[in-house]
Amino acid sequence: MVGELIAGRYELEKLVGSGGMSNVFRAHDRLLERTVALKILHEQYTRDEDYVERFRREARAVAQLAHPNIVTVIDRGEQEGRQFIVFEYIDGENLKELSNRGPLDAREAIRLALQVARALSFAHERGLVHRDVKPQNVLLNEDGQAKVTDFGIARSLDVHGVTQTGTVLGTSDYIAPEQARGQKVDPKTDIYSLGVVLYELLSGEVPFPGDNFVAVAMRHVNEPTPSVSDRRPDCPPRLDLAIQRAMSKDPEDRFESMGDFAIELEACLAEIDGGGDEGATMIVPAPRRPRRTRSRELPAFVMPLVLAAVVVALLAAGAYLLFHTGGGGGVLPGVGSSSKPVSVAGFASYDPFGDGQEHNGDAAKATDGNPSTGWTTEHYRDFTKPGVGLVVSAPRAVALSRLTVVAVPGFEAKIQASNSSTGGFVDVSGDWQAVGSRTTFKIDTTGKNYRFYMVWLRLPTGSGQAEIDELTARS
């Protein structure tokens, strides 16, 4: 086909890409004297009139996506029954070629993923779901700017289930579980796929490799989401948790929108650019003091009194410790040389006895290191349900020894744990405990590791609202 003139205007110069759906050529636009990319769909997809009409309709819609991180559609047409689309030509490599040279540093990976997220969010707001988000569909121009391409094509090729492996072979590495099952897809499908892309950029490999489409797709459906930090120990914990949330098996557990995913990536990038020590990248820093009003610097003569008060407090703590350990030199559970802070992230609310969610989008505020922000339940006129919960996610399955809650007093709670964010929670802290301004729950997992921990709470009978401002955890 090289040398052929399409629509009396586009001269095909070189085949630059080929897949199960189409061939892509570099072409010369004789009318405007410029280089373009021309995609010609394979013949078998032009025989179905319904498909052709969908393709035309979506090509027109994609042409309206004027965004700096989306490859511009220039023209659409047909010649001798063959459907084609003309795009701006990007003279550079794609994201797959870049990642094949080795893992990217966190800052660069986030920078590129953030551009893709913004492009996808722009498309979602205009009613288009990509359905085939993968690094091969992200082109890099000479300035290193990411450009998403192939919008609408996967949507037009509405693949049902996993039977038509010829049309999707090679993209199963990034397929969302609901897509692999042949279920309805929506913007959250693209969130999952972008999470996989970001995982690959950081680790240098896809999370679920396999020998064939079905094997890989079933791993996406059935196997737990891996942690990037297992492959890349220097990955910031907050970024790791963001990827795991994006790759949640249940779409309801993912970010509410691609825009929300972009906001979290921006926060991850801000933490990295903030510099400093490792704690600067943690979602939950080391346990900190409860909320206090910032005051002016104390006069010098007051400092001795403050130091004396500190000494008295330390002596009192020592006496308490001695009394409660029988003088044997023991330590409080979860405190000591073997106890370590665990980075946890507010993941979601848990409301199985209500409408299924309680201010779900605010869950992350309970672990943002800022006690002036938090998560709240709905305001109840009469709290009659067995309970409602706030779920936090650890970077990987771990046995916590304690969880500290900074909250507005007025409710009871206990801690439960599970390896699924959607159910199967078991008590790990004993009976209900009244929650004060700062309450530490001692946890006994009986040697089991759990990925998700939940503050399961109940309000007194009558009206009220629970507020949790900060959660910190230790192993």
Q: Is 105 a catalytic residue?
A: no
Q: How far is CA 133 from CA 138, 153, 194, 409, in A?
A: 8, 11, 6, 45
- CA-nearest of 95, 89, 97, 92 to 115 is 95
**Ordered alpha helix ranges (H), 343-415:** none
- Please name every residue paired with 438 in a beta bridge, in sequence order, or none if there are none: 406
SS3 372: coil
**Ordered alpha helix ranges (H), 234-342:** 237-246, 258-273, 303-324
Give the active site residue among 50, 105, 132, 150: 132
Instruction: Tell me phi and psi for residue 58, to 5 degrees.
Output: -75, -35
Which residues touch 271 (CB under 8 Å, ≥6 apart)?
236, 238, 280, 281
- CA-nearest of 163, 4, 173 to 82 is 4
Which residues touch 182 (CB under 8 Å, ≥6 apart)?
159, 160, 161, 162
Q: Are 469 and 406 in contact (CB under 8 A)?
A: yes
Q: Are 90 and 139 in contact (CB under 8 A)?
A: yes
SS3 377: coil
CA dist., res. 71 & res. 151, Å (int)? 9
- CA-nearest of 451, 436, 432 to 391 is 451
CA dist., res. 147 & res. 164, Å (int)? 28
DSSP one-letter code for 100: T
Q: How far is CA 255 from CA 7, 93, 260, 288, 306, in A?
A: 44, 29, 6, 28, 46
Question: What is the set of active-site residues?
Answer: 132
